[in-house]
């Protein structure tokens, strides 16, 4: 349980769902973890849980759509842990609408949280990794719908598709610094965000979740399963992997 022993990590959107699972697993694997989220109550609870289990954690309140918040989150992590080795850009939201039904404000907010945040956090974190001279790992969380389209999910698909290509561009730009940048593309995962999509679409939750499970493995994923994939990309186990997109979706895209 030491795949990240001695590493310092920042995870955005870490108060719940996939982000929470990643933060807890990284701490179990030896990392000091900065838990960044807009939800102070649940975010602090995650940090407290890690500390209670004997790990090292810090909660940082952060609206990832704001440059000042992203800069502060990175600064707080570095101040607390003495550096930064791993960043997981996980924060995300969804609005299930077609382009005709989607409000401009919703487009702007989803694009800011899902795509712009990757730029903002990485812009603040990468120079710190460069100055340290030890490389680093950045894991950007996209989605299966960043690779294929989905009905009534225009802005979500657009934002997650942007994350895939931004990952590839970043991987090229910082390979010489041994900063690896990879992308994680989860399929439907049992989180509160997924279940809230049923309400957005006006569908019964049970039917919505049953439809989401219609994939070769016959179920939706668990946040802990996605976290294991994030651990692989963050750790030295993937030392020769950069610019890649790892699909973790129970065979859905297959």
Q: How far apart are CA 135 and CA 177, in angstroms?
A: 6
Per the residue annotation, which of 59, 81, 145, 156 is the catalytic one? 156
How far apart, in Å, are the Cα atoms of 91 and each of 111, 137, 236?
Answer: 11, 17, 23
- In degrees rounded to 5, what are phi and psi of residue 213? -80, 0
Q: Are 92 and 85 in contact (CB under 8 A)?
A: no
| Neighbour tally for 202: CB within 10 Å | 8
In terms of Cβ atoms closer than 10 Å to its own Cβ (0-12, 13-18, 19+), residue 106 is middle
* Residue 119 annotated to the active site: no
Q: Are 184 and 219 in contact (CB under 8 A)?
A: no
Q: How far apart are CA 40 and CA 18, in angstroms?
A: 17
Q: How far apart are CA 232 and CA 36, in angstroms?
A: 21
Which is it for the CA torsion 70, 73, 75, 78, positive or negative? negative
Q: Which residues are catalytic?
A: 156
């Amino acid at each position: 349980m030491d795949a990240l022993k001695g590493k310092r990590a920042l995870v955005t959107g870490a108060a719940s769902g996939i982000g929470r699972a990643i933060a807890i697993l990284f701490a179990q694997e030896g990392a000091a973890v900065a838990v960044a989220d807009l939800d102070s109550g649940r975010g602090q609870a995650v940090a407290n849980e890690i500390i209670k289990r004997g790990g090292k954690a810090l909660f940082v309140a952060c609206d990832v759509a704001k440059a000042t918040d992203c800069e502060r989150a990175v600064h707080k992590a570095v101040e607390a842990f003495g550096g930064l080795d791993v960043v997981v850009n996980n924060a995300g939201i969804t609005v299930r609408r077609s382009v005709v039904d989607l409000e401009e404000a919703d487009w702007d907010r989803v694009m800011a949280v899902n795509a712009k945040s990757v730029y903002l956090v990485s812009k603040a974190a990468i120079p710190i990794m460069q100055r340290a001279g030890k490389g680093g790992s950045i894991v950007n969380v996209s989605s299966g719908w960043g690779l294929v389209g989905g009905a009534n999910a225009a802005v979500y698909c657009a934002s997650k598709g942007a994350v895939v290509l931004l990952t590839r561009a970043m991987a090229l730009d910082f390979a010489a610094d041994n900063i690896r940048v990879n992308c994680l593309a989860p399929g439907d995962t049992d989180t509160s965000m997924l279940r809230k999509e049923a309400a957005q679409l006006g569908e019964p939750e049970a039917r919505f979740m049953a439809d989401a499970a219609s994939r070769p493995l016959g179920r939706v994923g668990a946040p802990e399963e996605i976290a294991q994939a994030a651990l692989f990309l963050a750790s030295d186990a993937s030392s020769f992997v950069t610019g890649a997109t790892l699909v973790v979706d129970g065979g859905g895209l297959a």
